[in-house]
Amino acid sequence: MFKAIHYSNVRSEEVKEEGSKGITVRRLITRDDGAKNFAMRLFEVEPEGQTPLHSHDWEHEVFILDGKGLVMCGELEVAVTHGYVVFIPPNVKHCFRNLGEEKLSFICLIPHKK
């Protein structure tokens, strides 16, 4: 199945997980689109917002589109801005925090859960 759509036409959902603040996600490509292996999501983090500190059995590949943030992964903390790429290994606690006055936005690719 082919899909070509502007991201703004994909519904934005508020992330309501414990520990999250000011986060929305757009599920850009999913199994419903015929993607058998990976999902592509667009996250937007409001100023002073953050994703929950969490871990899981799968990796993340992330591309920072806009904004200024901090990525925490295990014991490491790295400041990121437009153009940074981030790899989060499986089973490592991680989170993204907005450090700027504008939205932090990033594309996140993950494998589908088995």
Q: What percent of the chain has pLDDT over 70?
A: 99
Tokens of 61: 């590949």
Q: Is the pLDDT of residue 47 over 60?
A: yes
Strand partners, 2: none
Q: Is the pLDDT of residue 99 over 80?
A: yes
pLDDT tens digits for 11-46? 999 999 999 999 999 999 999 999 999 999 999 999
State how far the alpha carbon of 33 is from the alpha carbons of 19, 76, 81, in Å.
30, 35, 30
| 63 alpha carbon, distance to own chain's centre | 9
DSSP state of 36: S
List of domains in the chain? 12-111 (2.60.120.10)
Q: What is the pLDDT of residue 114?
A: 55
Q: Is the pLDDT of residue 86 over 90?
A: yes
- What number is the average pLDDT over the span 72-77? 97
- What number is the average pLDDT over the span 53-69? 96
Q: Is the pLDDT of residue 48 over 80?
A: yes
Cα separation, 34 vs 61, whole angstroms: 20
Cα separation, 16 vs 52, whole angstroms: 10
